[in-house]
Structure 1
Amino acid sequence: MPKIVDHDQRRDEIVEAYLTVVARDGLPAATSRAIAAELGVGTGALWHYFDGYDAVAAGAYQRITERTNTRIAAATADLRGLDAVYAMLREILPLVKETVDEAYVVVGFWGRLAANDKIAATRADVDEHWHELLRAHLTDEVADGGLDPGIPLEDVIDVLLSIAVGQQVHAIMGSDLAEPDRQIRMIDLCLRPWRR
């Protein structure tokens, strides 16, 4: 009788193996052969569950998005206003090993996305979701009197998200701009003109 394989579970295992290799050995080491070795299978076994390496990278990107959103929800659950904004951004910015490792996967996916429009549909609407969260937190801060009501919310949110994305690139490049205190100071600088 043929062995019954849970395809979703196997796909999850492959994505987790990819993320494990990246965290341990770096993105360049996350080859098909290394992922298969991590799972203890032959390389060809990967392609029963994914159409190619780009699809694995897209799956890893989606997994990181899910993890980040889960962390954001937990970190901001009991917070409001700017406290929630900073807690949220600390889960996105590459400030610690976990988020730096994630930055390698995310930026690597963006590179693949630029060369393969077939995986574009796999990109989560993360920017829109984060935009809405930041809008809600900043609106609360305005209501609580901590920010000037004249703050151009949409523009400030765009800058905050651009900083978060840019810092992921700086982190994988090893730039001094990715030093954690500098990253937080950029957020401070963006919000300072609007604080009351």
Structure 2
Amino acid sequence: MPKKVDHHERRTLIADALMRVAARQGLEAVSLRHVATEAGVSSGMVQHYFRTKDEMMAFAMAVVRERNQARVTEAIAQLGEEPPPRLLLRTMFVTILPLTEESRADGRVALAFLAYTAVRPEAATGLRADTRELTGFVASLLPGPRRQERAAGLLALMEGLGVYLLGGHYPAEEALAALDAQLDVLFAETGAADAG
């Protein structure tokens, strides 16, 4: 009886190899051949699962998103039932920021993917949808007016802090202090406005 092949597992193996290559050498080093070598499989197998580099990149980014979502879900679950919105947002952002070895590796891939899509907008379709969804979720937790714009600003801060952390510009304590300061502004200002 032929062995049953788990196609998702194979694709994930290839995506993990792509992420290791990208994290070590940058996206310019990512090719079907390099990824196949890193995964310990043939180039033909990589081409069987991914016809193009864009397909391979999009799948790798989906894996990063799934990992981030799993980490965030676990961290938020530890907060208990109905955590305060500020705490929920802080927990989510701290979990996503590249503060651990695992999240740094994923962060390097995400940053490389963003740069890749800057010159290939068609490759960013899924990412744009995710960004809209995340902005809407963050906006739903913010008090006061202009929630959508404030959520976009908060996400831009998080992305910028992530880039600075990956580049070694800020230590973790400074990045977290900047995040806390912005959350304080968002929640204190609107709290004062709502109370008045």
Tell me the TM-score range normalised by the shorter chain: 0.7 to 0.9
CA contact (8 A) 1:36 1:46 kept: yes
- Corresponding residue pairs, total: 183
- 1:176-187 equivalence runs, <5 A: 176-177=169-170, 179-187=171-179
- TM-score (normalised: structure 2): 0.77
Which of 80, 86, 92 aligns to 2:90? It is 86
**5+ unaligned residues in a row in structure 1: which ranges?**
140-149
- Cα deviation 1:33-79 (Å, max 9, x = unaligned): 44212332222331111122232222111111111122222212323
**5+ unaligned residues in a row in structure 2: which ranges?**
192-196
Determine if the alignment matches structure 1 residue 154 to structure 2 residue 148.
yes
Question: Structure 1 residues 104 and 167 mapped into 2: Cα distance closer, same or farther (>3 Å)?
Answer: same
Counterpart CA distance in 2 for 1:114 and 1:47 is: 24
**SS of residue in 1 equivalent to 2:139:** helix
Match of 1:64 in 2: 64
Determine if the alignment matches structure 1 residue 117 to structure 2 residue 109.
no
CA contact (8 A) 1:135 1:154 kept: yes
Counterpart CA distance in 2 for 1:176 and 1:66 is: 27
Question: Structure 1 residues 155 and 118 mapped into 2: Cα distance closer, same or farther (>3 Å)?
Answer: closer
Question: Structure 1 residues 61 and 134 mapped into 2: Cα distance closer, same or farther (>3 Å)?
Answer: same
- TM-score (normalised: structure 1): 0.77
CA contact (8 A) 2:158 2:179 kept: no
Question: Structure 1 residues 113 and 22 mapped into 2: Cα distance closer, same or farther (>3 Å)?
Answer: closer
- 1:100-139 equivalence runs, <5 A: 100-123=104-127, 125-139=129-143
Match of 1:95 in 2: 99
Q: Give 1:118 deviation, angstroms.
A: 3.7
Counterpart CA distance in 2 for 1:189 and 1:51 is: 46
Counterpart CA distance in 2 for 1:191 and 1:122 is: 28
Match of 2:52 in 1: 52
Counterpart CA distance in 2 for 1:31 and 1:135 is: 38
Q: Give 1:135 deviation, angstroms.
A: 2.9
Counterpart CA distance in 2 for 1:115 and 1:163 is: 23
- Cα deviation 1:126-157 (Å, max 9, x = unaligned): 22232233234334xxxxxxxxxx46433332
Match of 2:181 in 1: 189
Counterpart CA distance in 2 for 1:152 and 1:114 is: 28
- Cα deviation 1:58-108 (Å, max 9, x = unaligned): 211111111112222221232332111110111222222222211210111
